[in-house]
Amino acid sequence: MTRNWKHKDLCALADHTASELMTVLDTATAFKGVGERNLKKVPALRGKTLVNFFIEPSTRTRVSFELAAMRLSADVVNISASASSLEKGETLLDTARNLEALRADLIVIRHKSAGSARFLADRLNASVINAGDGAHEHPTQGLLDAFTIREKLGRIEGVRVAIVGDILFSRVARSNIQLLTKLGAKVTLVGPPTLVPATFGCLGVEIANSIDEILEQSDVINLLRIQHERQKREYFPGVGEYTSRFGLTKKRASQLKEGCLIMHPGPMNRGVEIDSSVADGSGSVILDQVTNGLAVRMAVLYLCSGGAPMASSATDQ
């Protein structure tokens, strides 16, 4: 597969080809080596300025982008919603244009509105990286999940991935679906019909309304948090019923296939979608995902700044 990436922005994995997405994963593999070294910094983005423009709360993703930029030697500024002019009635576009006027080279945006990253990317010369736009996409999360699967299982094609929970409101699910189906994985969405509507079938995935159906067949089980903040209405009768029908309990975890990866994009609600001991157990790769996120984000920032795609030793053998 030829490596290529000719985009200034990363707004949605739906916009990119399988070969572009593999390019990001391969470049991330090369950058992961940097994180394992004593001296964790490379000069790839020296002199560039990155603005972390987070208009929704985030810890993991924001810190991950910040560290990724620092490891590439970029200068980083963080803005949060309460500190921004949006509070004073300025439009998103005007705020972003001001950041660009301050010569930001990269803008990493998290925003509650689907399409907001694309909206800015189409109007700015700066690179725009989507760190989560409403229920639309969270591309770097999708990439780091695929990276982790490839790292642990050695492949993505043919891997059976179950994504369990609040699919309707999940940008993580949408990015995972886009990437995994393009790279040949078999994806099953699991949850109550109110949170996994039949329309998801058009994305080339299977739908299951019982977690018990998928335990024995899955190579990867990815558990999502119930996003109460996005659900303005009732989608299921209560957390207790949700856990009893869809939670990965100890008993259910024991039915998983040997070597099945247990993933979670965080933040995790222990005892709701995942049993606490299962989250910390041997199949869990939840913290590996976080570590890999750093390498993936370094690759994304590097490629969107015009860096040449890199080979990873793993895939060139």
Q: What residues make contact with other proteins under the rule CB under 8 A? A: 14, 91-93, 111, 113-116, 118-119, 122, 133-137, 171, 174, 197, 199-200, 202-203, 232-233
Q: Which is nearer to other proteins, 170 or 243 (CB)?
A: 170
- Closest CB 59 distance from other proteins, rounded Å: 22
- Closest CB 122 distance from other proteins, rounded Å: 8
- Closest CB 115 distance from other proteins, rounded Å: 3
Q: Which is nearer to other proteins, 87 or 316 (CB)?
A: 87
Q: Which is nearer to other proteins, 76 or 224 (CB)?
A: 224
Q: Which is nearer to other proteins, 68 or 117 (CB)?
A: 117
Cα(126)–Cα(103) distance, rounded to whole angstroms? 8
Cα(252)–Cα(183) distance, rounded to whole angstroms? 28
Q: Which is nearer to other proteins, 101 or 198 (CB)?
A: 198
- Closest CB 232 distance from other proteins, rounded Å: 7
- Closest CB 209 distance from other proteins, rounded Å: 17
- Closest CB 9 distance from other proteins, rounded Å: 13
Q: Which is nearer to other proteins, 27 or 116 (CB)?
A: 116
